[in-house]
Structure 1
């Protein structure tokens, strides 16, 4: 099984424009965790002082891959609306790589078509 190769631009429906527009495609990345979220404040308070680790540490990971999430941004200058699009799980993900070419081997000559 090869890589999943996704082009860097995609013509798809924009909810704000109300029609199909070219979109810039990037891979979604999780933002930095806030130090001031309620759960983090509670956890830090509980961890402070003596007593070691207070919460269980998860060690039974079942999945080896994550679902890939694409971030689509409309290229229309006065729109720029963004939306997420989840695709299936894959081990190797590539954004804007070379297109795969079909190669036909006839025995006496090899032809390639793009």
Structure 2
């Protein structure tokens, strides 16, 4: 299963200054940190993506449901076209 997430997302900001809906920049969890998290016991971890408010710089981390492929800002799905990885 593949997950495609837009690079910007308009969602609620819980920062002390904001407390309203604002545009958030979406980034993926750093690769090195993910490798460290994977090593050892505990099994497969979920991909984590971070949302940073563009107004007050408040950061929010959110785990995504388990997926094999994760893409930031990729092309949208179109009818009749094959998906390329």
Matches within 5 A, 1:29-44: 29=30, 30=33
Q: CA offsets, 1:54-99, max 9 Å, x none?
A: xxxx6xx684x430111000011xx111110111111111111000
Bigger-Rg structure (1/2) = 1
CA distance in 2, matches of 1:15, 1:62: 30
Q: Distance in 1 between matches of 2:42 and 2:12?
A: 35
Number of residue-to-residue matches in the alignment: 72
Q: Is the 8 A contact 1:5 1:94 kept in 2?
A: yes
Displacement of 1:102 after TM fit?
A: 2.7
Report what 1:28 is aligned to.
29
* TM-score, normalising length: structure 1: 0.55
Backbone CA RMSD of aligned residues? 2.3
TM-score, with length taken from structure 2: 0.72
Identify unmatched segments of 5+ residues in structure 1. Answer: 34-57, 104-114
For 2:50, what is the secondary structure of its paired residue?
Answer: strand
